[in-house]
Homo-oligomer: A and B are copies of this chain.
Amino acid sequence: MVGDSSRIAGQDGLRADARRNRQRILAAARSVFAEHGIDAPMATVARRAGVGVATLYRRFPTRDALVRAAFAQQMDTCARALTEALADPDPWRGFQRLVETVCALQREERGFPAAFAAAFPDSTGEHARARERAERDFMTLVRRAQAAGALRPDFHPSDLVVALLSHCGLVTALPGDRAASRRLVAYLLQSFRAEAAHGALPAPSALSLRSLPLAAGGSTGHA
């Protein structure tokens, strides 16, 4: 019984119809979460996907698992943005684009901000390794941008969390108001510039960057 997978077809161990249903559930989840928030009833997701609740629960035993899987693609985009930022020869431009990309995602993908904020406190997830790497990468980016004299010297890596979570809150409070979101991003980026450093800042947060959901691992979320 154990290890005998000769009968299963897909590479993910799912039968063709099951894999199809899984995709429909994820699409439905994104749509429902965007419309009603991530607290929408599971049954609503199941109905929109055209499957029974049991099927939904079998694939995603908890709401959290469903949320993560539904927005794994967006999380991946965040992780990719970090890689691209590091690859940019101009570290400030990389930094700027990283922040803008993540914020644009939060702004455009309804439901994602809530998923983003919800995923945040979980620093003990199974993606610890990917997160550690993201943390290290981001610190490298910060150091480079500071060495280039573009990023203010007192910028602390945890300030990224501050920026992203506050932006998250803004787009949650004012969904659809793109101007407000863009305005905040512009203000924050300006104040991160070296030229903006006038007085001393209060002490940075003790937040571990480890909990940053920038790199959420593969796009499957299927354990």
* Interface set of A (CB-CB < 8 Å, partner B): 117, 120, 156, 158-159, 161-163, 165-170, 172-174, 177, 179-180, 182-184, 186-188, 190-193, 195-196, 198-199, 201-207
Give the complex CA separation of A99 and B37 in angstroms. 30
Q: Is the interface of A mostly helix, strand, loop or mixed?
A: helix
**In the bound complex, what is the Cα–Cα distance between A201 and B190 (angstroms)?**
10
Q: Known contacts A166-B166, A202-B179; is A117 also within 8 Å of B187 by CB?
A: no
Q: Which residues of B contact A188 (CB under 8 A)?
A: 187-188, 191
- 26 A-B contacts (beta carbon < 8 Å): A117-B169, A120-B173, A156-B183, A159-B183, A162-B170, A162-B180, A162-B183, A162-B187, A163-B184, A165-B173, A166-B170, A166-B184, A169-B169, A177-B206, A179-B205, A180-B205, A182-B203, A183-B201, A183-B202, A183-B205, A186-B202, A187-B201, A188-B191, A190-B191, A191-B196, A193-B198
